[in-house]
Chains A and B, each alone.
Chain A
């Protein structure tokens, strides 16, 4: 039984992607919060403790790589599993040292994404129990 909906933070500069992910994940019972760049995501994380982060790479102000570095340095945030989803070239090279849960190439496959989110829900539930 799901006591509380799993919370997911979506960080993407593209308003369409934020809207669509909020919608399709919301329909499946996830509690979705969005941020338009790494800096506003860090702001949001002062009060929010999501179970999972979906992170774009190319963003203004603070890009995904820089956000992830800041996140890794903060002990309170470092443990939140993070999935990168991006349309950039050479994603492996750019995300090499980021210790990510996964890196998905855009356009992302919804079923694949949902399956991955479920894996992390189970892990968090097991770890948390």
Chain B
């Protein structure tokens, strides 16, 4: 195009205006002012593809008096099945509808509601992919049917090329902003996790260091070659327990890394579900007794399935630890049952409970139902548990309300074919 022609000069001015647009609203305001000035059409709109290769377009903005109504009538339109929109995305050429009321390509319900007369849609493309469409046209009898001249249409195509670049930039900025928000959220969750992990590790470390210092004190007081065996034995037993607790916390962290990297491998064998659950109860019993709540197992008969023994034990142990931690020192019930090809493990406590709004969140990584200022744990136990259960083709769910305890239910298929 020769830059000395008025059209080229106008298009350059339009491109410069578009450079300032940082949102789709601003983009459309600038565009509508231009269609109104050059073509005399008071309305303009933008269709934007929702996702690349998706079958829907979103009417992103509609500028002019019809704004509110169009937004309500057609916020999302399917590409397939809508003749006019299919045509827009099938080629680079503008699609002109002289009279929307009689043209077979239009959606008559929308035309009826909006009062469309002439419709012009110009495809927007970026990096050779469809991005959406720039639309304009007339409404109602007062504006009437007024198709654009060949020169006006050529100018619209020029405008669309400029709008494509601006719309692509705005979409890119929007995506970047959303990605930034997601990254910030993930970083915050990880920071919270590190804080609670360090808190969690320091607690057994405190018990451990107090016992060790106290043992040294006993030895120093004894002074001579005689070692005071009974008090030291007691201390060392306690030291071993704290070391075990630290080890299990660190193992838990390693398990998380394994699950997160997708390296969770199951070693399945035919076992009675009662065996790993009983092993978990044996490991948790001491902590439960010290917290004040006994664990009661109801498992009248064998429930045999093809599972990873260690993994199922870790599931049962995680649920028990949770029940002990939040169980307010009240009894914990564990039930095992089998129906057909499904096995069920239920762990029920009568502690502080979990609000219904938190039920989904507790199974996510780094999430706990209680505030970070509350105790304790990495916020990973249930996330790992969910992954282990799902790797077995099973499901885990919770029923709970504040103050009414929590009941966790694990359903497992007894075979590995689901």
Contact = CB atoms under 8 A, between A and B. Distances in A.
Interface of A: 13-17, 19-21, 23-24, 27, 36, 57-61, 63, 85, 87-89, 106-111
B203 A60 contact: no
Nearest to B214: A24
Contact of A13 (B204, B213, B245, B376): B376
Given A58-B374, A63-B373, A16 B209 contact: no
Contacts, number: 86
Contacts of A16: 203-204, 207, 241-242, 245
Top 8 closest A-B pairs, CB basis? A87-B202, A110-B213, A107-B206, A16-B207, A24-B214, A15-B290, A106-B206, A87-B199
B214 to A, nearest CB: 4
A56 B287 CA distance: 19
B327 to A, nearest CB: 11
Contacts of B199: 58, 87-89
Interface of B: 195, 198-199, 202-211, 213-214, 217-218, 231, 238, 241-242, 245, 287, 290-291, 326, 329, 352, 370, 373-376
25 contacts: A14-B203, A14-B376, A16-B204, A16-B241, A16-B242, A17-B203, A24-B211, A27-B231, A57-B373, A58-B375, A58-B376, A60-B326, A60-B370, A61-B352, A63-B374, A88-B199, A89-B198, A89-B199, A106-B202, A106-B203, A107-B202, A107-B206, A107-B210, A108-B206, A109-B213
Contacts of A36: 329
Nearest to B213: A110
Given A15-B291, A16-B203, 10 more contacts: A13-B376, A14-B207, A16-B207, A19-B207, A23-B214, A58-B199, A60-B326, A60-B375, A85-B206, A110-B214
Contacts of B217: 110
Nearest to B245: A16
A1 to B, nearest CB: 20
Contacts of A108: 206, 209-210
